[in-house]
Amino acid sequence: MRKRSRSDPEERRSHILDEAIRIVGRHGYHGFTIQQLAQVCGMTNGGLLYHFPSKENLLVAILEERDRRDAAIVPQDVDLSARDCGSDSGYALSTVRSLLRAIVARTVAEPELARLHAVLQSEAMAPSHPAHGYFERREAMVLEEFAAMLTGHCRDPRSAARQTLAMIDGLVQQWLRANGAFDLIAQWDAAAAAILPASSAHD
């Protein structure tokens, strides 16, 4: 019999999160049970609850895992240490374009994670949903970050930030609903051309 390694608990926890992301992305938070997830993972209810003491605790872990993966979206060819000193914005417009494109490209690379976000975001509009506060805070944070990125490049960066986020979310939802039947990145490039300026005086 194989001797368990020290990494086994971490591997099991990672496996649970991967399966939870897939199941919750298909059925929503209210549409799955701990028993269903445990069966998919080949575990008992008690074994799963050892890693995640409650369904709400699991939801928190899923969202944290999503945020952790989201933090890795910056493409390798984008130099975030380079600041555009001639602009009020922290980044040159070309860098802003690359960052936003990378966010959309992440959806193509990890559609299950994108589906999870879309389903939970919709569910969590209800104030009673355990993730309601998370999505309120996250939307405010993303809008603030987008506005900061677009400052110096748009007349009204806050409005542009809201339009940008709405366009990304809307295109992603259409792409998921169509089971990836169209080129999401190409559609985003077309949308970005309409929302963002063609050039910046400081770019």
pLDDT tens for 18-63 read 999 999 999 999 999 999 999 999 999 999 999 999 999 999 999 9
Angle between helices 111-123 and 55-70 (to 10 degrees): 130
Contact 158, 143 (CB under 8 A): yes
Q: How far apart are CA 40 and CA 50, in angstroms?
A: 16
Question: Any residues with CB less than 8 A from the CB of 110 and at least 6 apart, and which?
Answer: 69
| Rounded CA separation 123/28 (Å) | 7
Enumerate residue ranges in the chain where pLDDT < 50.
Answer: 1-6, 76-87, 201-203
Record the pTM.
0.81
Domain boundaries along the sequence of the chain: 1-71, 73-203
Distance CA(53)–CA(20), nearest Å, equals: 14
Check whether domain 73-203 has CATH 3.40.50, yes or no: no
pLDDT (0 to 100) of residue 71 = 73
1-71 shares its CATH topology with 73-203: no
Gap between the Cα atoms of 98 and 130, Å rounded: 33
How far is residue 21 CA from its own chain's centroid?
12
Is the domain 1-71 a CATH 1.20.1250.20 member?
Answer: no
Q: What whole-number percentage of the chain has pLDDT above 90?
A: 67
- The SS3 call for residue 134 is helix
The pLDDT value given to residue 74 = 55
Residue with tokens 């074994």: 47
**CB-neighbour burial class of residue 139 (10 A; exposed 0-12, middle 13-18, buried 19+):** middle
3-class secondary-structure state, position 154: strand
Q: What is the pLDDT of residue 17?
A: 95
For the beta carbon of residue 192, count every other beta carbon within 10 angstroms. Answer: 17
